[in-house]
Structure 1
Amino acid sequence: MVNAGRICCITAPFLLTLAVLICMVLVFLAGTFDRNKTVDDFYFLKIDLTNLTLAPSTVGTGNGDNATLLAGALQAAKQTLGMKDFYTIYLRSYCSWNGNDLYANCTDPKAYFWFNPIKIWGLNSTGVPVDTYLPKTFTDGLDAYHAASKAIFYLYVGALSAAAITLVVGISAAFSRWGSFFTTFCASAMSILLICASATATAVYILLKAALNESLKKDYGIQSTLGSRFLELTWIGTAFAVGAGFFWLLSVCCCSGRSPYNPGNKEARRTRAEKTPYTYERVGSPYMGPSDHQSMPLNTLGPQGYAPQRPAHMGSAYEPFRPQGV
């Protein structure tokens, strides 16, 4: 039998776990629907190429020739290869569009996705060996992002799976504290995985944004910005996960799921053995002597000591009573 107090005890962690699952689903759905502002706003990074240009500061420097060649490759890619004005990067895909056609041309989602601007922008198709002319800060940041992208994907998949498992196992917590005990393990794994995923994604994309802006913003007018809504989503989900783990642990110690009226409970049996009011109890008699709880009979036999005679087949025991004439 499910205890109402037990249900109240696990309601908070169950709802918090459900909120974590919703946050993770949004992370996985982001960038998978064209022109869907509801989910496509949760991008990791946005790259703006509307102001693509060759800055005069590159001319006359040691890197002037390289900068000129790279700028020419970028401009050729934009003019002839269909490079878009905007790019948004997600966990499993990216979107690209021109002008006000927001979040258009979203690619099919795939596992272990990472955004390779050299390939996606078609820079190698311009006839210029851009790998030779790319700034070192750009290549270092891109390599670090590529190496971490698979770990980020695994961590978010693990967090999503742990949230779903925690919800399923959490149903057993409604019946006993043992259910909460096992659910706490799942919730702890969910919290750890999501903390690691949020921290890794935040750090990697901050470094990638810094590398892109340092290499491309000043000389080429390409600006990158972090997705604030994604950061809010992943860290709010992390806070929910930590809160869920704490309350699941608290439910192990509080609100036993066993009913106090369970016949299998020894304490319940001792409680039920109490005397019920208004029940009949045999009183002491002059024949058998007073009981342990009374020093004299409750009823007298009348002035003449009259006592009713009982038939022989009913035995000699009798109940004293007060005669009607008294």
Structure 2
Amino acid sequence: MFGRKKKSSETLVNDEFHPSKDQIKRATRTRLIWALLSSLLLLISLVFIILVEIGDTSISPIRNKIHFISLDLSNIIPVRVPNAVLINSIAQTLGLHDFYTVGLWGFCEGYNGAGVTFCSKPKTLYWFNPVEILQNELLAGATIALSAQVDDILKLIRVVSQVMFGLFLTGACMSFIMMFIVPLSVYSRWATFPITIFTFITALLTTVGAVIATVLFIIMKNAITAATQINIGATIGIEMFVFMWIAAGTSILAFIIQIGMCCCCASRRDVRTGRKRGSKKTYRGESSEGEPSSETTEKEPGRFSRLRGRRS
């Protein structure tokens, strides 16, 4: 019986507690900081995905440094072969360039002394086909007979490259959209849950794209350098790999922050309804009005209500 009266009196006091807008903002400042940090991480991810996207799209000292792999064909015939220097010179005269670099939208080619001389037109769902390049440039449209194994490898490269292209492009779009939506999680923990799901999708797209690119071009590099019949050098583009993994890492951090915000840090709805009080610093001024300040914690609205009920 006494317990019921106590419960009803506490409910009445809770109903009388209406924090002002300034108090709500101050009480949820921590949540706002984490939300803005998550949005900033998505912005960083977007910037580095854009750098990945623009790599090797035109002749530029900066863009041409951003590539997945670089192939060195300046000495395609090993020196131990008789007349190797003459054969390499003839190959270059016929149209074979010293190096080829591969980006997400196309490839670039050039000579060691002159630098990059040509970049292909950016193409959606691009994939690097060295056989096609040799046919178009060195052999003037002649066909090359390929074994079934090589043909299967080229088909696999095409599928994997197109999937990677779609992942990076979709990840960039998702990062741009979520960058503006994530700060809305400060208003309610219920709203944070779907935002967290879409942030996870954003991180997943970027990370899977980075993993596919890493595996694909490392395998390609090892396969090319392992071919002893021809002397082709292959090096991984460090800048491209650093950029895409920074993009993946920052998007993962944004997702981790959103997971924490699902259960931690009082939202504005929590403070408004009395579920949580948020930052204790917000209510330190209440001691002058006879209300507890430092003793009251974020998760003890009932204790705060009982103290007010006793004093009334």
The yes-or-no answer on 1:252 pairing with 2:262 is yes
1:15 aligned residue (24, 29, 40): 40
| Separation (CA, whole Å) in 2 of partners of 1:261 and 1:203 | 48
Question: Residue by residue, what CA displacement relative to the aligned partner does 1:186-218 show, whole Å, maximum 9, x if unpaired?
Answer: 110012112211111111112222222233xx3
Give the 5 Å matches for 1:100-249.
Answer: 100-122=113-135, 126=139, 131-132=144-145, 139-215=151-227, 218-249=228-259
Identity of aligned residues (%): 22
Give the 5 Å matches for 1:53-92.
Answer: 53-54=77-78, 56=80, 77-80=91-94, 82-92=95-105
Question: Residue by residue, what CA displacement relative to the aligned partner does 1:64-123 show, whole Å, maximum 9, x if unpaired?
Answer: xxxx9xx97x8755312x322111100111111112444442222121111222222336
The yes-or-no answer on 1:41 pairing with 2:54 is no
Larger radius of gyration: 1
Q: Is the 8 Å Cα contact of residues 221 and 235 (structure 2) preserved in structure 1? A: yes
Q: Which residue of 2 aligns with 1:315?
A: none
Q: Is the 8 Å Cα contact of residues 135 and 144 (structure 2) preserved in structure 1? A: no
Structure 1 residue 167 displacement after superposition: 0.9
Q: Which residue of 1 aligns with 2:106?
A: 93
Instruction: Report the TM-score, using the length of structure 2 for normalisation.
Output: 0.70
Instruction: Report the TM-score, using the length of structure 1 for normalisation.
Output: 0.67
Q: Is the 8 Å Cα contact of residues 52 and 75 (structure 1) preserved in structure 2? A: no
| Separation (CA, whole Å) in 2 of partners of 1:49 and 1:259 | 64
Q: Is the 8 Å Cα contact of residues 96 and 138 (structure 2) preserved in structure 1? A: no
Q: Once superposed, what is the RMSD of the aligned Cα atoms?
A: 3.5
Question: Residue by residue, what CA displacement relative to the aligned partner does 1:244-302 show, whole Å, maximum 9, x if unpaired?
Answer: 1110111122222327885x65999xx9xx9957xxxxxxxxxxxxxxxxxxxxxxxxx
Q: Which structure has the highest helix share of the two?
A: 2
User: Residue 101 of structure 2: SS of its match in structure 1?
Assistant: strand
| Separation (CA, whole Å) in 2 of partners of 1:136 and 1:181 | 49
* Count of residue correspondences: 256
Structure 1 residue 129 displacement after superposition: 6.1
Partner amino acid, structure 2, of 1:190: T
| Separation (CA, whole Å) in 2 of partners of 1:254 and 1:100 | 59
Structure 1 residue 163 displacement after superposition: 1.1
| Separation (CA, whole Å) in 2 of partners of 1:250 and 1:224 | 43
Structure 1 residue 24 displacement after superposition: 0.8
Q: Which residue of 1 aligns with 2:10?
A: none
Structure 1 residues 18 and 76: alpha-carbon distance in aligned structure 2, compared to 1, 3 A threshold: same
Partner amino acid, structure 1, of 2:45: V
| Separation (CA, whole Å) in 1 of partners of 2:90 and 2:170 | 42
Q: Is the 8 Å Cα contact of residues 124 and 130 (structure 1) preserved in structure 2? A: no
Structure 1 residue 164 displacement after superposition: 1.5
User: Residue 105 of structure 1: SS of its match in structure 2?
Assistant: strand
Q: Is the 8 Å Cα contact of residues 43 and 230 (structure 1) preserved in structure 2? A: yes
User: Residue 164 of structure 1: SS of its match in structure 2?
Assistant: helix
Structure 1 residues 137 and 76: alpha-carbon distance in aligned structure 2, compared to 1, 3 A threshold: farther
| Separation (CA, whole Å) in 1 of partners of 2:79 and 2:50 | 42
What residue ranges of structure 1 are gaps of 5+ in the alignment? 60-67, 278-326
Structure 1 residue 34 displacement after superposition: 1.3
